[in-house]
Amino acid sequence: MVTDRARLSRYHTPTMAGKLRHIAISTKDPDKTAEFYKQVFDMHEVGRTDTHLAKGVYLSDGTINMAILDFKTDQLGRGLDYVGVHHFGFVVDSHDETDKRFDELGAECMQERPKDPTSFFEVKHRGPDGVVIDTTEHPWLGAKV
């Protein structure tokens, strides 16, 4: 009998172990939405942001980072009134390998890595069905590697 793990192992490549570690939710009231997730799932606040892109709250369950954001720019092309899942992100072993795979599959690169090596960054691609996928070699605040 083939186990689920055995079936899934064929999709795992040792050179690029992508791990889902970030989910961003677009909302008009980050504090209220964050409080909901804190109360229902016992998530903990690990940070706040207020930049030219968005204002919001970062939560974590100890493994994954959840960004609850009121976006100031329309990054998805859905309008500033859009609420719901905005994007998700993977920690990857190698951006070079991951970028190569995105390119091979024809995924649009929306935001390349910045030239400043000291800044935290995410590379953004648009996957199937227009879903935005962030990748980084370093985990988000509150997320495990």
Residue 124, C-beta contacts closer than 8 angstroms, at least 6 positions apart: 87, 109, 110, 111, 132, 133, 134
Each residue's pLDDT tens digit, 103-139: 888 888 887 776 666 556 788 888 877 888 888 888 8
Q: How far apart are CA 85 and CA 69, in angstroms?
A: 10
118, part of any domain: yes
15, part of any domain: no
11, part of any domain: no
Strand, helix or coil for residue 98? helix
Q: Which domain holds residue 67?
A: 23-136
14, part of any domain: no
47, part of any domain: yes
Number of structural domains in the chain: 1
Q: How far apart are CA 68 and CA 28, in angstroms?
A: 9
90, part of any domain: yes
- Annotate 48-76 with three-state secondary structure: EEECCCEEEEEEECCCCEEEEEEECCCCC
18, part of any domain: no
Strand, helix or coil for residue 23? strand
Strand, helix or coil for residue 88? strand
What CATH number is associated with residue 83?
A: 3.10.180.10
Q: What is the DSSP code (8-state) at residue 102? A: H
82, part of any domain: yes
User: pLDDT tens string for the chain (145 positions)?
Assistant: 444 444 444 444 444 568 999 999 999 999 999 999 999 889 999 999 999 999 999 999 999 999 999 999 998 888 999 999 989 988 998 888 888 888 888 888 887 776 666 556 788 888 877 888 888 888 888 888 7
